[in-house]
Chains A and B, each alone.
Chain A
Amino acid sequence: MADTVAAHIKKARTQDRIATGILIATAGVICALLAAIIIYILVSGASKVFDPAFLTGKPQQFQAGGGIGPELFNSFYLLLLTLIISTPLSLGAAVFLVEYAPDNVATRTVKTAIEVLSSLPSIVVGLFGFLFFVLTLGWGFSIISGALALTMFNIPILVRVIQQALEAVPSDQRDAGLALGLTRWETTVHILIPAAIPAVVTGIILSAGRVFGEAAALIYTAGQSAPVLDFSNFNLASMSCPWNIWRPAETLAVHIWKINSEGVVPDLTAVSNGTAAVLLLCVLAFNLLARFLGRRLSKKLAAE
C-alpha cells in the first residue's frame, strides 16, 4: 500500500515537472514569435525605411521606385480626425453610462449597441460606411467617410477604456464631491476625470495605434487612391490640398493590401516590406508613448 502511494506521488511529481516544462516552453514560444515577427518586418523593410525618397515619394502604379509619402500623411491625418471626432463622443457616452444611466431599457439598449459595435468585423463597418457615407450621403471615397467609419470602429474601444478608468476611481471621491453640494456633472468633470486621466490618456493612445493600422474599414470608405498632395495648396476644395476632407485617401495599411492584390508593381516585395516596416514602427511608437505618458501622468497625479 505504501509502495503504490509512493509510486503515485512520484508519478504526480514527474507529471508536474513535465507540465511545468511544457508551460515554460509555451511562454517562450510566444515571446520568440513576437520577436521573430518584429525582427522579420523591420529587417526586410530596413532598406526602405531609412530612404527619404521612399518616405516622401509618390506611389507608382506600374514602375519600380514608388514611395509612400501621401499614404504616410493620409494615415496620420485620418488618425487625427478620427481621434477628434471619437474622443468627445466616447467620453460623453462613457460618462453617461457610469454616472447618469438609469436602470431602464434605454440604458440596456445603449450598452448592447456598444457591445455589438465592438464585435462587428471591421469589414462590415467599412461596408456600412460605404453604403451610408460614400453612397447614401453622396460623399464618395473621402477622408471624412473614412474618419467616420474609423470613429465607429474606435468608439467601443474608447468607451470601454474610459468607463473602466472612471470606475477605478474610488467611489468615496464621488461621495465627497456630492456631499459638498456639487452636481454629478461637476463631480465627474472636476474630480473623477482628473483622477482618471492617466488611464484615459493611455487608452486613447493605444486606440490610436489600432486605428492607425486599420485597413478593412477604409478600403471602401477612404478609398484606394492617393492623389498627389501639394502642401502649399490651401484651397480646401482642391484635390491636391492635403487638408481637403472630401478627397480619397489611401493609407499605409490599405496600400500594402492594394499593391499585393493587384500584383503589378515590379518591386512589390520591397515596397510592401518597407511600408509594413514603417507601419510597424509607428504602431510600436504609439505603444511606447502610451506606456511612457501613462506612467509620467500617474506619477504627476500621485505627487502633486
Chain B
Amino acid sequence: MLADNMTAVEESIFPAGAQPVPNAIVSAVDVGVFYRENQQALSGVNLDFHAGRVGALIGPSGCGKSTFLRCLNRMNSEIPHCRITGRIEYHGKDIASPQQNLFDLRRSIGMVFQQPNPFRMSIYNNIALALHRHGMRSKNELDAAVEESLRAAALWDEVKGKLHGSAYALSGGQQQRLCIARTLALHPDVVLMDEPCSALDPIATRAIEDTIRAMAQRGICIVIVTHNMQQAARVSDTTAFFYLGEMVEAGPTQRIFDAPSDARLQDYISGRFG
C-alpha cells in the first residue's frame, strides 16, 4: 500500500525551516485558528499533502483535527469571528489572498462530511446542481458527468435505474457515496473527508475505503480525519497526530503506528486514552 519513494516523502513532510515543499499540493505553514473571544483551537500546524496520497489526521475528540481540515477549503471563513493565522498554500498560492477565488478553490478542494448530507432532491439533481451552477448546461454533458461521477464513487450500478428517485431513499452508505460522487463531479484534485465513515456500518465503511483508495490511485490528494486508528492504518499513506490543538507528530503511517516517538502518541495508540 505504501509507495516506493516513501523516504523522500517522509523527509519532505516536516521540513525544519517550515518552507513549503514545491511538489506538495497543499501546504499548511504555522496555521492557527482562533474563535470568538480569542479562544484558540489550533496552533502552529505544519503539514504537507501530496497528489495521489492519503493523509490521515488522528487524535482524541476536540483536539482540532476537523478545525484544521475546514481551514483547507476555507469553510472556517463562514464562521463569524473565526480568525486564521499562518499560511495555507494550494499549488503554491496562498488560499487567503484576494487573487484566489474562494469559489474556484472550493471546486478544486472538495469536502465530504461526517453525516451524509445529500440535498432533498433526486440523485441526478444532487450531482447536477453544482455542475449546473458552475456553467454546465447541456443535458448530454450533465448526463455523462453524472454517470462518470457515480461510477467513480462505485455507486452507478446500484442506482442507475433510479436516478430520478429521491436521494433520501438510499441507505446511509449509499448516501455517503452519493456525496462523494457529488464532490468528484467537479474534478477536484484534493478531497477532504471529515470522519466519513463514523455514521456507517462496517460493510458501508469498507466500500468507502475502497473508493478512497481508488480516488488516490487516480491522483487525487486525500486528507481524512478519522477516529478509527485501524482505518487510518488501512487507508492512509501518512498520518498526523493532533493533541489539544497542536499537531504533535506526523510521518509515514507505518512508522507512526510501529514506532511512535512522542509519548502522548504512544499512549493514544495503545489506547490509554481515546
Contacts and interface: CB of A to CB of B under 8 A. Distances in A.
Interface of A: 102-103, 170, 172-173, 175-183, 186, 190-191, 194-195, 301-304
27 contacts: A172-B113, A173-B120, A175-B75, A176-B113, A176-B118, A176-B182, A179-B111, A179-B113, A179-B183, A180-B107, A180-B130, A180-B182, A180-B186, A181-B103, A181-B104, A181-B106, A181-B130, A181-B134, A182-B130, A190-B133, A194-B120, A194-B121, A195-B120, A302-B120, A302-B168, A303-B166, A304-B121
B115 to A, nearest CB: 6
Interface residues on B, range: 20 to 34
B74 to A, nearest CB: 9
Interface string B215-247: 000000000000000000000000000000000
Contact of A179 (B73, B115, B120, B121): B73
B271 interface: no
Contacts of A170: 117
Nearest to B77: A178
B80 interface: yes
Interface string B82-112: 0000000000000000000001111100110
Given A102-B80, A181-B106, A190-B133, 5 more contacts: A103-B80, A179-B75, A179-B111, A181-B104, A304-B122
B119 interface: yes
A176 B133 CA distance: 14
Given A175-B113, A181-B130, A191 B103 contact: no
A245 B78 CA distance: 45
Nearest to A170: B117
A190 B126 CA distance: 11
A133 to B, nearest CB: 38
B117 A180 contact: no
B166 A304 contact: yes
B107 A191 contact: no
Contact of A180 (B106, B121, B166): B106
Contacts, number: 69
Nearest to B130: A180
Interface of B: 73, 75, 78, 80-81, 103-107, 110-111, 113, 115, 117-122, 129-130, 133-134, 166, 168, 179, 182-183, 186
Contact of A178 (B78, B121, B122): B78
Chief secondary structure at chain A's binding surface? helix
Contacts of A191: 119, 129
Contacts of B183: 179-180
B222 to A, nearest CB: 15
Contacts of A190: 129, 133
A171 to B, nearest CB: 9
Contacts of A194: 120-121
Contacts of B117: 170, 172-173, 175-176
Closest 4 CB pairs of A and B: A181-B107, A181-B106, A179-B111, A180-B130
B133 A179 contact: no
Nearest to A186: B133
Given A191-B119, A194-B120, A178 B186 contact: no
Nearest to B182: A180
B71 to A, nearest CB: 13
Contacts of B186: 180-181
